[in-house]
Amino acid sequence: MATQDEVFKKIVSHAKEYGFVFQSSEIYDGLSAVYDYGQNGVELKNNIKRYWWDSMTLLNENIVGIDSAIFMHPTIWKASGHVDAFNDPLIDNRDSKKRYRADVLIEDYLAKIDEKIDKEVAKARKRFGDSFDEAVFCSTNPRVLENVAKRDAVHERFANALNDNNLEELRQIILDCEIVCPISGTRNWTDVRQFNLMFKTEMGSTADGAMGVYLRPETAQGIFVNYLNVQKTGRMRIPFGIAQIGKAFRNEIVARQFIFRMREFEQMEMQFFVRPGQELEWFGKWKETRMRWHKALGLGDWKYRYHDHDKLAHYANAATDIEFEMPFGFKEVEGIHSRTNFDLSQHEKFSGKKIQYFDPELNESYTPYVIETSIGVDRMFLTVLCSSYEEQELEGGDKRVVLHLPAALAPVKCAVMPLVRKDGLPEKAREIVNELRFDFTTRYDEKDSIGKRYRRQDAIGTPFCITVDHQTLEDNTVTLRRRDTMEQSRVNVADLHKIIHDEVSINSLLRKLS
Ligand code: ATP
């Protein structure tokens, strides 16, 4: 059996081989943590965005979208706290010269202790069988108790150090836990320093006096500074939301794990404005709504979990992550934050403009509170890709690689293939393509054996293959082959549209949500 690490490597090379994701600037040896999406990747990505956008703006009367610019007035980032506090603690290993995030080194250490505990429990479950009582085992087994105590103690120190911004203590935890550099294996660590993640550039020619501007590190601020514009012109009443999809940029210290952590990435964010005092109720609702959105894709309910934050960001009064089980462990895909009225109040202060809402029901004005849902398009792409990839052994010793993509997200919905390249079959196949392509991304393929053509479509996750043969010319029926089961059935050309539509439309996903 391949290890998870090997599986992940295979997924990365599959993504390249089949036109999903390429390393940026590859012919110049690449640019670290920047990626390009290929012909299939862009379709999958667009479908993910469409699913999110429609779930926000079609299913909620009180959510509208905007598209704000990447460049914004630099004072915005002062007001939001990013200039002063959007930092990660970095540490270098003097021997390997490798740089790490101090917090991530400690988190990985804690995750390893958790793994040890899980292993003890799994071992005991196997030994005791049906009579196994996990709660009793965990509260009495000395090895488990020792590990739990160790984990909790480190965890408490870690949470305090983060809360107090105590960089020396972070370093001390790394030393006390005897965490070594994975490359050099040594504990020769430098001090921990803060590193601001924003990219800076200049706007305007230097003769005019250029202004320093940032590439936005999140799309949210574009929503906050447009709050009044949208509320007034859309005559929005609280509660209401503003959604946005767009690029964000972070000069990540350690960029690893393919498109999981990039320096240029895309976010789908929604800020939901509510009455003060009602934010925690709405936080709970959005937590649930967003989990439903993920699970509707059918990637496996057990692959998701919530991770509530111990350390709240300076602006939040509640926060949770939706984590997904990647081949390299459970990782954050989406954050849901109760951001209080911090951002709007700050913009009110820094801009000098009044950003208040007059609530006609209460007959009073206030600065709205905000619930944010924030998900990375690229991370979402990675969850879909990782959970869809399968190497299958087929009967007769044959093998295939198949992407079990949710049909609504698949880059290509159907491929039409003439069995042979003669006798009018290509013409008939083209006729079918010409009909289907108005509604579905459709491919025509006549090269190689039919088996090879099926494999090519399986590898990019095409849900349907349609084969045109001699019988088609007689009775207008084709062979419809399904990707996951490889089951083939004879259907009338006139029925193709409905069959395909019922399974591949984003609509079918959205219906699961309402
Ligand atoms: P992390 O702790 O992994 O750095 P974060 O907590 O800083 O993430 P947020 O600021 O909450 O992330 O951003 C919201 C979402 O944006 C994340 O859940 C993730 O999906 C996505 N995201 C954040 N940083 C990156 C990145 N460097 N590359 C790709 N996606 C990212």
- 191, two tokens: 């001090």
Cis peptide before 89 (omega within 30 of 0): no
Least Cα distance to 69 among 241, 227, 219 occurs for 219
How many angstroms does the Cα of residue 385 sit away from the middle of ligand 1?
Answer: 18
Instruction: Average the pLDDT over 164-189 and give the result.
Output: 94
Which residues pair with residue 370 across a beta bridge?
273
How many angstroms does the Cα of residue 312 sit away from the middle of ligand 1?
Answer: 15
Query: Can you tell me the distance from the alpha carbon of 8 to that of 303, in angstroms, rounded to the nearest whole number?
Result: 16
Max CA distance (Å), the chain: 80
- pLDDT score of 81 more than 80: yes
Radius of gyration, alpha carbons of the chain: 26
Question: How many CA within 13 A on the CB side of residue 32?
Answer: 7
pLDDT digits (tens, 9 = 90+) for 196-238: 999 999 998 766 678 899 999 999 999 999 999 999 999 999 9
How many angstroms does the Cα of residue 495 sit away from the middle of ligand 1?
Answer: 44
Contact between 283 and 317 under an 8 Å Cβ cutoff? The reply is: no
Nearest CA, atom 31, ligand 1? 376
Nearest CA, atom 30, ligand 1? 376
Backbone φ and ψ for 245, nearest 5 degrees, come out as: -120, 130
Which pLDDT band holds residue 434 (cuts at 50, 70, 90)? very high
How many angstroms does the Cα of residue 172 sit away from the middle of ligand 1?
Answer: 27
Query: What pLDDT, on the 0 to 100 scale, is given for residue 207?
Result: 67
Query: What pLDDT, on the 0 to 100 scale, is given for residue 205?
Result: 75
Query: What pLDDT, on the 0 to 100 scale, is given for residue 257?
Result: 86
How many angstroms does the Cα of residue 330 sit away from the middle of ligand 1?
Answer: 14
Instruction: Average the pLDDT over 363-387 and give the result.
Output: 97
For the chain, give the mean pLDDT: 94
For the chain, helix, strand, coil in percent to 5 are 45, 25, 30
Pick from 106, 267, 331 the residue to mutate for probing ligand 1's pocket: most ligand atoms within 8 Å of its CB.
267
**Strand order in 477-482's β-sheet?**
442-444, 414-418, 464-468, 477-482, 488-492
Nearest CA, atom 21, ligand 1? 376
Which pLDDT band holds residue 1 (cuts at 50, 70, 90)? low
How many angstroms does the Cα of residue 355 sit away from the middle of ligand 1?
Answer: 28
Nearest CA, atom 11, ligand 1? 335
How many angstroms does the Cα of residue 245 sit away from the middle of ligand 1?
Answer: 14
Contact between 478 and 467 under an 8 Å Cβ cutoff? The reply is: yes
Query: Can you tell me the distance from the alpha carbon of 391 to that of 389, in angstroms, rounded to the nearest whole number?
Result: 7
Nearest CA, atom 29, ligand 1? 261
Rounded to an integer, what is the distance from CA 367 to the centroid of its chain? Answer: 31
Query: What pLDDT, on the 0 to 100 scale, is given for residue 132?
Result: 87
The number of the ligand 1 atom at minimal distance from the alpha carbon of 334 is: 18
The number of the ligand 1 atom at minimal distance from the alpha carbon of 374 is: 14
Instruction: Average the pLDDT over 290-298 and give the result.
Output: 97
- pLDDT score of 68 more than 70: yes
The number of the ligand 1 atom at minimal distance from the alpha carbon of 380 is: 20
- 359, two tokens: 């609530």
Query: What pLDDT, on the 0 to 100 scale, is given for residue 204?
Result: 86
Query: Can you tell me the distance from the alpha carbon of 397 to that of 394, in angstroms, rounded to the nearest whole number?
Result: 6
Query: Can you tell me the distance from the alpha carbon of 416 to that of 429, in angstroms, rounded to the nearest whole number?
Result: 6
Query: Can you tell me the distance from the alpha carbon of 158 to that of 177, in angstroms, rounded to the nearest whole number?
Result: 11
Query: Can you tell me the distance from the alpha carbon of 248 to that of 263, in angstroms, rounded to the nearest whole number?
Result: 8
Contact between 404 and 483 under an 8 Å Cβ cutoff? The reply is: yes
Q: Say whether 464 sits in a helix, a strand or coil.
A: strand
Nearest CA, atom 2, ligand 1? 332
Nearest CA, atom 24, ligand 1? 261
Q: Convert 490-502 to b/e letters by CB count within 10 Å (16 or more is b).
A: eeebeebeeebee
Query: Can you tell me the distance from the alpha carbon of 358 to that of 365, in angstroms, rounded to the nearest whole number?
Result: 4
Query: What pLDDT, on the 0 to 100 scale, is given for residue 491?
Result: 97
**Which residue, chain included where needed, has tokens 């926060």?**
319
How many angstroms does the Cα of residue 377 sit away from the middle of ligand 1?
Answer: 10
Contact between 376 and 266 under an 8 Å Cβ cutoff? The reply is: yes
Query: What pLDDT, on the 0 to 100 scale, is given for residue 507?
Result: 92
The number of the ligand 1 atom at minimal distance from the alpha carbon of 269 is: 14
How many angstroms does the Cα of residue 265 sit away from the middle of ligand 1?
Answer: 9
Nearest CA, atom 8, ligand 1? 332
DSSP category for residue 361: T
The letter for the amino acid at 163 is N
The number of the ligand 1 atom at minimal distance from the alpha carbon of 252 is: 27
Residues at CB less than 6 angstroms from ligand 1? 250, 252, 261-262, 265, 267, 332-335, 374-376, 378-379
Backbone φ and ψ for 321, nearest 5 degrees, come out as: -110, 145
Nearest CA, atom 9, ligand 1? 335
Nearest CA, atom 12, ligand 1? 335
Geometric angle at alpha carbon 246, from 245 and 248, rounded to 5°: 135
Nearest CA, atom 7, ligand 1? 335
Contact between 181 and 98 under an 8 Å Cβ cutoff? The reply is: yes
Instruction: Average the pLDDT over 36-43 and give the result.
Output: 98
The number of the ligand 1 atom at minimal distance from the alpha carbon of 377 is: 20
How many angstroms does the Cα of residue 376 sit away from the middle of ligand 1?
Answer: 6
Instruction: Average the pLDDT over 283-288 and give the result.
Output: 97
Q: Convert 257-292 to b/e letters by CB count within 10 Å (16 or more is b).
A: bbbbbbbbbbbbbbbbbbbeeebeebbeebbebbbe
Instruction: Calculate what percentage of the chain has a pLDDT beyond 90.
Output: 87
Does the pTM surpass 0.85? The reply is yes
Nearest CA, atom 25, ligand 1? 261
More confident residue, 197 or 5: 197
Pick from 24, 332, 370 the residue to mutate for probing ligand 1's pocket: most ligand atoms within 8 Å of its CB.
332
- pLDDT score of 476 more than 90: yes
pLDDT digits (tens, 9 = 90+) for 273-285: 999 999 999 999 9
Residue 103 contacts by C-beta under 8 Å, 6 or more apart in sequence?
88, 89, 158, 162, 170
Pick from 199, 287, 379 the residue to mutate for probing ligand 1's pocket: most ligand atoms within 8 Å of its CB.
379
The number of the ligand 1 atom at minimal distance from the alpha carbon of 267 is: 16
Nearest CA, atom 6, ligand 1? 335
Instruction: Calculate what percentage of the chain has a pLDDT beyond 70.
Output: 99
- Treating both helix axes as pointing N-terminal to C-terminal, what angle do 142-163 and 102-128 enclose, rounded to 10 degrees? 160
Instruction: Average the pLDDT over 67-94 and give the result.
Output: 94
How many angstroms does the Cα of residue 323 sit away from the middle of ligand 1?
Answer: 12
Instruction: Average the pLDDT over 177-199 and give the result.
Output: 94
